[in-house]
Amino acid sequence: MILMWSPKSPFVRKVMILAHELGIAEALALQREVAVPRGVPNPAILAVNPLGKIPALIRDEGPALIGSAQILDYLCEITPGGRALLPASGEARVMQLRWQALADQLTEVLLDWRIAATGPLGIDAARRASFEAKTRAGMALFEAEAPLLRAAPFGPGPIALTCALGQLDFRYPDCGWRAAFPALTRFAAETAGRPSVAATAIVNDQGDSGPDLQLTFE
């Protein structure tokens, strides 16, 4: 299997963390690609995912899969033991997918915020306020549910949250979320010790600049 990959995509990171947890990271051949959020999309990605995003998983048989949620579902299904991380049914599955949806939406807000702010026109105040309000509300929900997340298997839900918090650290390094959210801080400290998380830390090796995204938790 070939994974269209980048070391600074939080959604690619979801796939890589799960692959490490399942013990199948070596089975993924990584093909580095740059997703272009504005302007001419990368034609190599477009040929696999016409919507121009990564991750995309090129299977040995059958069409490629797109979207981190489906790729996680697929890898859990085809890997022995995968159902321990994402059960096929029941409330344990519901909670994993619910946390994943919440964390993915939080990550999308952080990405959309940056895409809007880095455009030539900049970002208007109303849109910025919307992104900030959603980020604060999302963090508050996860703070309240952090004990449940710490007790759950390290499946798609906790993995997606790890990637959302990683994106916050990557693009808003001075926001001070750890001072404001002690339960989430404990969650992040525990997960940081997992080999799957340490092996997939976001790397900005090709560099990029952009506006100073102002976000401060108090």
Our CB check for its own copies shows the closer of 149 and 197 to be 149
Residues 6+ apart with CB under 8 A from 53: 11, 35, 45, 66, 67
What residues numbered 102-161 form the site for its own copies, per CB under 8 A? 102, 104-106, 108-109, 112, 116, 119-124, 126-127, 129-130, 133-134, 137-138, 140-141
The nearer residue to its own copies, 32 or 59, going by C-beta atoms, is 59
Kindly state the smallest distance separating residue 175's Cβ from its own copies, in Å.
Answer: 17
Residue type for position 45: I
The amino acid present at 197, given as its one-letter code, is V
Choose the stretch contacting its own copies; rule: CB under 8 A; options: 1-9, 20-28, 51-59, 182-190.
51-59
Q: Give the residue among 6, 144, 140, 14 at the shortest CA–CA distance from 75.
A: 14
Cα–Cα distances (Å) from 79 to 58, 111, 178, 207, in that order, read 16, 30, 35, 35
Binding mask 58-97 for its own copies (x = CB under 8 A): ----xx-xxx-xx--xx--x----------xx-x--xx-x
Q: Which of residues 21-40 bind its own copies (CB under 8 A)?
A: 36-40
Q: Under a CB-based contact definition with an 8 Å cutoff, are residues 106 and 162 in contact?
A: no
Tokens of 97: 């997918």
Edge-to-edge strand list for the sheet holding 29-32? 29-32, 2-5, 56-58, 65-66
Footprint of its own copies (CB under 8 A): 36-41, 46, 49-53, 62-63, 65-67, 69-70, 73-74, 77, 88-89, 91, 94-95, 97-98, 100-102, 104-106, 108-109, 112, 116, 119-124, 126-127, 129-130, 133-134, 137-138, 140-141
